Amino acid sequence: MTGHDEDIRYVIDHGKKVDWNSILTIAQKQNVACVAFDGIQKCFSLDNTTKEDIGMTMPMMANWIKIYNSNKDRYNLHEAIFHGLVDTFDKYGIELLLLKGLGVSKLYPVPSSRTCGDIDIFPRWIDGNQLNEQGLKASEFIDKFAENKHISVEHENPKHSVFVLKDVTIENHVSFMDIESIPFEREIEQTLIDYIKKEGLTSVTDMEYASLTQQEHSASPTMKTLPPNANYIFLLRHMAKHFRAYQSLNLRQIMDFGVFLNYYREELDIEKLKQNIIVFKHVLINDLMVTIAEKFTGYDLSFALIEPSKVYPKDQDRIIDDIFHGKHSYSVKQNNSFLYSIIIMLRQHWKHKYIPDSFIERSLYAVKRALHIAS
């Protein structure tokens, strides 16, 4: 990620011993294939290095390029859809906050190399009112708008609805956190709202826009997202939830966190954030995610550590092993069995050492979730 000469040199010196097919398989599974390819391309800028020098064949290189170009096309589609949504609902007095993926991608050296999944939006009325004259929240207005266009809208998750545009999934958030199912998250939700009220929203653009003139820059599309301090907490909690029993944490989320921390290091109110993280009992998961992000991005992120003396290598290794080799990652889309969800929860009980949700609370949530699925 950092492109340090010593990292590039290491790849050149050891590339011929690498099974590039396996590397590509792992990178795709972790949703970082194009970021990895950016690193591979940097090798060719040093000492006239060729693909043969690092042990890569022409078919393998062609495969990487095909995936790279396909990802860029997909990324451009995501951008076009989001800006289309912005233009559409701006006419109705709604502004859209962009959460996670596409917004964080703008902080990457090559934004289009960040593999996109869903588009997460948080709509709100521009006039600041919670409801419009029809008594609708902005998210409800969008759902009704979509349904009137004969677009199917799912409401399974209390935090957001889901609909699909041009094969891209849109998650339309009514809240940042799962405040209905997890009472603990109501306090986090309010903290995010307080940061937004105090700091306003943040506009992000592609980093390459920095070379444009002021007039050109003002005409470039921007995306509004959470202010840095709120986004820190949002991203951290998002990783903690993916890490726990029902979902898997992947390397892309770790990279997002590391890139975000590095980009906003001067703007973050670290002392205030540390207080928030201590109150939310996220200290251990924060420090582990920060140190793991350091390993995979190459950035010095030590400024974000709270109690580094409690970060043990064995804990890092266990989480990294779970990211790359986790055998019990579970998605409700893979198996709707009530019994299976309980088995997975029990197998992953060790993860509750790292997150504030007690094992009993998570067990009750697992039962509630499983019963909802079964019904």
What's the pLDDT score for residue 349?
73
CA dist., res. 140 & res. 241, Å (int) = 25
Amino acid letter, residue 106: K
CATH code for residues 72-191+207-212: 3.30.460
State whether residue 120 is helix, strand or coil.
strand
- Write the DSSP symbol of residue 48: T
Angle at 175 between CA 172 and CA 177, to 5 degrees: 115
pLDDT profile of the chain (375 residues), mean per 10? 61 68 89 88 74 78 91 91 91 92 88 90 90 88 94 90 93 91 88 94 64 44 87 95 74 94 94 95 94 92 93 88 70 56 69 70 58 52
* CA contacts within 13 A on the Cβ side of 73: 7
- Mode of pairing for the β-strands spanning 154-157 and 119-125: unpaired
What's the pLDDT score for residue 278?
94
- Mode of pairing for the β-strands spanning 119-125 and 168-173: parallel
Category of 121 on φ-ψ map: left (φ > 0), alpha (ψ -120 to 50) or beta: beta
Residue 374 burial by CB count (10 A; 0-12/13-18/19+): exposed, middle or buried? Answer: exposed
Taking a C-beta distance cutoff of 8 angstroms, is the pair 237, 282 a contact? Answer: yes
Look at the block and give the residue holding tokens 């097919």: 21
Domain ranges of the chain: 1-56, 72-191+207-212
What's the pLDDT score for residue 4?
62
Structure tokens at 166: 């041009």
Look at the block and give the residue holding tokens 């506009």: 203
Helices (H) and strands (E) in the chain, counts: 15, 7
